[in-house]
Structure 1
Amino acid sequence: MIVDVYRPDELTTADRTAWTTLQSQVRRREWPHMANPFLSPEFTLAVGNCRRGVRVAVVREPDGEPVAFFPYQRFPAGVGRAIGIGLSDCQGLVHRPGFQWYADELLSACGLALWEFDHLATGQYPFEQSATGSFPSPVIDVAEGWDAYLAQLRTKSPNLIRTTLAKERKLERQHSDVRYVHDERDPAALRTLMEWKSAQYRRTGLHDRFARPWITQLVQQLFHTRSEPFAGILSVLYADGRPVSAHFGLRTERVLAWWFPAYDPAFSKYSPGLILLMHLAEASARDGIAYLDLGRGESRYKDSFKTGELSVSEGLVSRRHPVALALGMSHAPVRALADAVFSHPQLFGRADRLLKSARRPREWRNPT
């Protein structure tokens, strides 16, 4: 296996084109995850502009033609993690159909003792063998068109459709200029969405992702990213000339990833988030999107709108290496093991000698 490792900005135009082509070559029903925008070169490039240690391993044929791309983030002592772990909803190796590889050989070529993932795409057997858990990732399939999906939804969730449409009519009666913009290009609307989302995180007791400047920078960069076929898509529902709900996600030619939805709590009685999701699904279907990936995580609205589920895995793959062996990192995620090591003095001494090059161990423990 011939493997070259690069920083994302060192990839040639030819390599980036080959990466995108590999994503588009895989038939959706064989490996539906492969076309996910989180596996696109644009996402890796954006993360590389915001975080240190981002690398891409390019696996080549003897004639130099790329057959696989493996993006990862490298930490001290050969610790590797999936690109954007904690943020990305799809991770793994982008490869030519039928390509086979060995995890330990790939990790060795990358200089990694181990690689952690929390949203591993299906069909990646060399990595899946080390998964510690598998989780459903609901999707909305609109490949047959909006009318076909709507008919299916009316059968599955008739009350949801009826009440959501009724609330939209009520919103239109009680407020002026109600409209949906599928691809809003106003940065002010994006700032409003991030403010809503930050408030939602704090209100629900979750960590505020947008309190981390690099995540704000990443989202803003992706908002301005436009290539063929990748784009950051901001969708906004307006009333009275101002946003009342919004969503920012990523798309490729056939997949739209649901990422950051939020709404103005002052309009909560209208369920503006559900109204927006219906409009977004309709616009996506008419724009050639095959399915919306709603991402791992249980939610009533996801259950109501989904047509099916994909599967993602979490875990850690390692090779025989002093770091992996010393920390016992064969079957548990790095974050849990790191917490255990730092809390037990008898383990810390040995681990500290292996990880002494880490300037900020707390950042390594939870860099996202």
Structure 2
Amino acid sequence: MDISIHRPEELSTPLRGAWHRAMDDSPDYGNPFLAPEFAAGVGRHRGGARVAVLREHGEPVGFFPYERNSLGVGRAIGLGLSDCQALVHRPGVTWETRQLLKACGLSVFEFDHLVEEQKPFGRHVTGTFASPAIELKDGDGTYPEWLRGAYPGLAKTTLKKERRLGRDLGGMRFVYDERDPGPLRTLMRWKSAQYRRTGRMDRFARPWIVDLVDQLFQVREEHFKGVLSVLYAGDRPVAAHFGPTSRTVFAAWFTAYDPELRYYSPGLIMHLRMAEAAGREGVRLMDLGRGDKEWKDWLKTRELRVGEGFASRPHPVAAAHRLWRRPVRGLRNTVLAHPALRQPADRLLKTVGGLRTSGAPGSHGTRPKT
């Protein structure tokens, strides 16, 4: 096995084509977060982004995107943003983990959404978790007819709320692939406010994430497209979602709605509208991402499995990194797995968020660009 290292945004057209073919060869690698376009997008904003290209008999057969810091600590590319991670390879290809890490100059590689199929990383997985998903089909008839067939338990209440929202604010309109960037700015503002309100880290206070989303919004390729979906009442956006889509998989990513309208359940309406529209576009799976949420339980039709852990080779830096990161992850997973712990933690975060949002102007961090 020959391994060469490249900047993801500098991969040649033939190598990108080989990567796309590896995605097509297995349903495990159909997720858009595994596409070279996502790796290239991160690479334009993260100096340590790299791709290891694995070759057999001179032919590229595998692609391993990652980020590396100056100490040789590695992480899945876009860790914290990506909901699917893997070494994308042709069928039958295998590798030796220590050899791979050495070729990449890594003492340790951290992941948290690893595709279950990745057997060579298997002994380094410290936990596996459900990633709820919706199997999609071509819609027959109108959206209400699709909804009644796919989700009979949700249809009556959801359609009633949507009709009420239309009466109160204006006629309802859903755009699956909105090309006007204006609603994208609105989505970022809503999401930043939600992060602060719930005490979470505001991702859109980080300029590189704002720039990455702006860039991915412009990508219109066969294996990767940045899709902005918007639900309108009259001319007013009431909910929006931005996420990447491949030929077969729609990745739920950033969803937000006008908090003044939360009693209409605009977020739920948005996801149901997206599922119906994506199915009509030929997409076959909507990956809702790892996480325990009631609305995901309502919508899911199956569960994928993803792993987290640390692949490493003997090195003091690897040992130190695991000692630092594993307790943090363990505590987080324990809280998320037990409602009796998760609910008080959520209340505490919301209290902190309330104090943060009620503070003096300028205390909220950097706002998204307008």
Normalised to the residue count of structure 2, the TM-score between the two structures is 0.84
Q: For residue 118 of structure 1, what is the aligned residue in structure 2? A: 112
Report if the CA contact (8 A) 2:239-2:266 is conserved: yes
Give the drift of 1:335: 6.6
Cα distance in 1 for partners of 2:204, 2:44 equals: 17
The correspondence of residues 306-345 of structure 1 with structure 2, limited to 5 A, is 306-325=300-319, 327=320, 329=322, 333=326
**Following TM superposition, by how much is the alpha carbon of 1:100 offset from its aligned partner in structure 2, in angstroms?**
1.0
Cross-structure match for 1:364: none
Q: Per-residue displacement from partner, 1:295-318 (whole Å, max 9, x unpaired)?
A: 000111110011010011111010
| Offset, 1:329 | 3.4
User: Residue 186 of structure 1 aligns with which residue?
Assistant: 180
- Residue of structure 1 in register with 2:23 after alignment: 23
Structure 1 residue aligned with 2:356: none
2:6 matches 1:6 = yes
- Listed as ranges, the gaps of 5+ residues in structure 1 are 338-368
> What code does the residue aligned with 1:57 have?
A
Aligned equivalents of 1:335 and 1:316: distance in 2? 13
In structure 2, relative to structure 1, the CA distance for the partners of 1:280 and 1:156 (3 Å cut) is: closer
Once the two structures are superposed, the pairs formed by residues 1-368 of structure 1 within 5 Å of their partners are 1-26=1-26, 28=27, 31=28, 34-62=29-57, 64-142=58-136, 144-146=137-139, 158-325=152-319, 327=320, 329=322, 333=326
Superposition deviation, residue 154 in structure 1: 5.4
Question: 2:24·2:30 contact (CA, 8 Å) conserved in 1?
Answer: yes
Q: Distance in 2 between matches of 1:57 and 1:100?
A: 14
Deviation at 1:10, TM superposition (A): 2.3
Cα displacement string for residues 203-259 of structure 1 (whole angstroms, at most 9, x for unaligned residues)? 111111101111111111111111123100000001120210000010000000000
Are the counterparts in 2 of residues 318 and 329 from structure 1 also a CA contact under 8 Å?
no
| TM-score, scaled relative to structure 1 | 0.85
> How much has 1:162 moved relative to structure 2?
1.5
- Structure 1 residues 20, 53: CA separation in 2 closer, same or farther (over 3 Å shift)? same
Q: CA deviation at 1:128?
A: 2.4
What letter matches 1:249 in structure 2?
A: G
Q: Secondary structure at the match of 2:44?
A: helix
- CA–CA separation in structure 1 for the residues paired with 2:235 and 2:9: 40
Question: Which whole-Å deviations, capped at 9, do the CAs of 1:135-180 have from their partners, x for residues lacking one?
Answer: 10000001x4335999997588543221111111112222223200
Residues 23 and 67 of structure 1: CA distance in aligned 2, closer, same or farther (over 3 Å): same
Separation in 2 of the partners of 1:156 and 1:176?
Answer: 27
**How many Å separate the matches in 2 of 1:178 and 1:328?**
51
Deviates more, 1:159-168 or 1:39-48: 159-168
- 1:253–1:150 Cα change, 3 Å: farther
Native 8 Å contact 1:233 1:249 kept in 2: yes
Residues 145, 134 of structure 1: alpha-carbon distance in 2 compared, 3 angstrom cutoff: same
Whichever residue aligns with residue 93 of structure 2, its letter is F
In structure 1, C-alpha distance between the alignment counterparts of 2:60 and 2:327, rounded to whole Å: 30
Offset, 1:278 = 1.3
Q: Offset at 1:265? A: 1.1
Native 8 Å contact 1:153 1:161 kept in 2: yes
Q: Which string of whole-angstrom CA distances, capped at 9 and with x for unpartnered residues, describes residues 28-76 of structure 1?
A: 3xx3xx11011100000000011111000000122x2110000000012
Q: Take 1:328 and 1:207, find their aligned partners in 2: how far apart are those partners?
A: 22
Relative to 1, partners in 2 of residues 1:300 and 1:155: Cα closer, same or farther, differing over 3 Å? farther
Aligned 8 A contact 1:19 1:69 in 2: yes
Question: Whole-Å Cα distance in 1 between the matches of residues 329 and 132 of structure 2?
Answer: 26
The CA distance in 2 between the partners of 1:255 and 1:89, in whole Å, is: 12
1:39 alignment partner AA: L
Q: Which runs of 5+ in 2 are unaligned?
A: 331-370
The answer to whether the 8 Å contact 1:131/1:331 transfers is no
For 1:334 and 1:253, locate their aligned partners in 2 and report how far apart those are by CA, in whole Å: 38
SS of residue matched to 2:22 = helix
Once residues 299 and 148 of structure 2 are traced to their aligned partners in structure 1, the CA distance between those partners, rounded to angstroms, is 10
Percent identity between the two aligned chains: 55
Matched with 1:366 is: none
CA contact under 8 A between 2:9 and 2:41: conserved in structure 1? no
Change (3 A) 1:335 1:48: farther
Count of paired positions: 329
Who is 1:361 aligned against?
Answer: none
Deviations along 1:67-92, one digit per CA (max 9) or x if unpaired, are 00000000122110000101100011
Distance (whole Å) between structure 2 residues aligned to residue 336 and residue 199 of structure 1:
26
Aligned AA (1:255)? V
Amino acid in the other structure paired with 2:213: V
Give the root-mean-square deviation of aligned CA atoms.
2.3
